[in-house]
Chains A and B, each alone.
Chain A
Amino acid sequence: MLEVKDLSISFGGLKAVDQLTFTVTEGSIYGLIGPNGAGKTTVFNMISRFYTPDEGSVLFIGNELLDFKIHEIISLGLVRTFQNVEIIKNMTVMDNLLIGLHHQMDTNFFTEVLGLAKKKEKEFHKKARDILKFLGLEDFENEIAGAQAYGIQKLIELGRTVITSPKMIILDEPAAGMNHSETKNLAILIKRINRELGITILLVEHDMDLVMSICNQITVINFGKKIAEGTPSEIRNNIEVQKAYLGGE
């Protein structure tokens, strides 16, 4: 579904990502892990077009993503979250979810001006309410998003991706800043999104328990290079990976 091939980028002489290749198959939960500064988020930023790689290609269901602009990616069915939640803090939870429907709204400026878009708005609200229920956030509909606890804000951001009915979601450290029980619930939620909604997941994460418990396939990178690839149990027993994490010789 997603083929990353020979992806490289450098910042001022430092190779942040070096000839990285991996393939995410449809329906899987794929983990991208590595020690701090390994270049994981940089990879995400290249896939979602925030960065333009020096070399390589990113194919998503046959489309070369590098030919698209950032705001066009979502229409292909690929959507992302951010490491430091990027929700619209001054908006209600409902409006934050509706932002996710932006690219699907076929109302235009003139129908809006004349107030003809309101009927359509009702349908959008209904869809958003379904997603809130799915996330267990139905009581927060009219609350201001920025006033919520960090864990809730992360769920709002996740909801904003789910509502777009994507083919694939890429999650940048979904569990960062969450406590133990929140992380557990998150694991269940990600599995449900994957199974019940049939959405492929690619995630970057530091929390090893989370990664090992939900991912089918994992790629480990260090200093921008792939050092291992395999199932969670293969990764756990890989000497290279242990060295990278423990810093041993």
Chain B
Amino acid sequence: MIKIQSKVIKTIILAIIVIILIGIVPFKTSTITLLSTVLIYGIAAMGYNVLLGYAGQISLGHAAFIGLGAYVSAYATGVMGVPFLFAVLLAGIIPIILGLILGGVALRLEGHYLAIATLGFGVTVQQLFKVLKGFTNGFAGRIAPSASIFGIKIKGVGYLIMLIIITTLLAILIENILNTKTGRALIAMRDSEHAAKAMGIDIVKYKLISFSISAFYAGVAGSLYMHLVKYTQPDVWGTVLSINILAMVVIGGLTSVGGSILGAAFIVLMPHLVSEIPYINTIPSASIIITGIIIVIIIRFMPMGLITFVDRFKRRITHVRS
């Protein structure tokens, strides 16, 4: 168990180093926003990884949870005047209700059928965002005030640092869950439902738990997105985003919390990096095409995701040391 203890400390140390670096290096505002986006999607991907990687359940409608979190947060802070941090929590909790409904569907469906059902679920919720004008303000969109904690406004570098702290905290919480009883139960359920049942694991309970966790993380991510961008409308929360979250988890590494953030960084940053390359950036949509090709290559040669890269590197370091 010392290993896990030190893992927590390692994560915290890493977070502190990153915070100091961000404090020192004078980043452009656009870079700060980009890095903030990476962490926000990283949070959503962490939650999604519990669902897909650990519990083996698929969802192609995950944008619905993120969108709901965003709207809840915007409504709570903008209309009801709820304090920011409380709104973030609320934006995590309310999507759980939706998560339990989808989890209920997952109890009856598996594999391809579940994928189609969740796809329909995502589309339905997106349409509801368009129709429920009292809550979402329809196509006109809803705005949200900037984040503030105890009356202090948080934006730019401050917001990024807050995101690093929240991401670290959420990563530690999820690692704690996955390294104990719940994590083992989820994996057992994924690999052999028969064995899981025979060993006393309540499949109904754990399927619902996995959907709840991922809905909570998605909702929190939605809320943090809302207070970064400060405006949203229904088109943002479509199937493209759901597929992107799926891609983040697969590319970063299934069953890896660190991999989820790595995958988010890849999907968010890659198009920007490719568009910096001379000549290529003159071709329209080249960045998206090249990102797509890289995804295919990664999946082909690194089925366990980019995190294998990091693991190999780590192993080499410990190898050299000894």
Give the B-binding residues of A (Cβ under 8 A): 48, 50, 70-75, 79-80, 82, 86-91, 95, 98-100, 102-103, 105, 107, 109, 112-115, 117-118, 121-122, 160, 164
Asked if B181 and A112 sit within 8 Å, CB to CB, the answer is: yes
In the complex, which of the residues A73, A82, A112 contacts B194, with contact meaning CB atoms closer than 8 Å?
Answer: A82
Interface SS majority for chain B: helix
Return A82 CB to nearest CB of chain B, in Å: 7
B87 nearest CB across to chain A (Å): 21
A48–B176 touching, CB < 8 Å = no
Given contacts A90-B191, A112-B181, contact A102 B176 (CB under 8 A): no
Q: A156 CB to closest chain B CB, in angstroms?
A: 11
B295 on interface, CB distance cutoff 8 Å: no
In whole angstroms, what is the CA distance A74 to B192 when docked? Answer: 17
Given contact pairs A98-B184, A99-B188, A113-B177, enumerate 17 new A-B contacts (beta carbons under 8 Å): A48-B198, A70-B197, A70-B198, A71-B198, A73-B200, A79-B199, A82-B198, A86-B194, A88-B191, A91-B191, A99-B185, A100-B199, A102-B200, A109-B177, A112-B182, A114-B176, A115-B176
Contacts of A89 in B (CB 8 A): 191
Residues of chain B within 8 A of A115, CB atoms compared: 8, 172, 176
Q: Is B85 an interface residue (CB 8 A)?
A: no
A99–B199 CA distance with the chains assembled, in angstroms: 7
Q: How far is the CB of B99 from chain A (nearest CB, A)?
A: 15
In contact, A99 and B202 (Cβ under 8 angstroms)? no
Task: Please name 29 pairs of A and B residues whose Cβ atoms are closer than 8 Å in the assembled complex, sorted by A.
Answer: A48-B198, A50-B194, A70-B197, A71-B202, A72-B200, A74-B198, A82-B195, A86-B192, A87-B192, A87-B195, A88-B191, A88-B195, A90-B191, A91-B191, A95-B187, A99-B185, A99-B199, A102-B181, A102-B200, A107-B181, A112-B182, A113-B173, A114-B176, A115-B8, A115-B172, A118-B180, A121-B179, A121-B180, A164-B199
A117 nearest CB neighbor, chain B only: B180
**Chain B minimum-CB-distance residue to A146:** B191
CA–CA, A113 to B169, complex, Å? Answer: 11
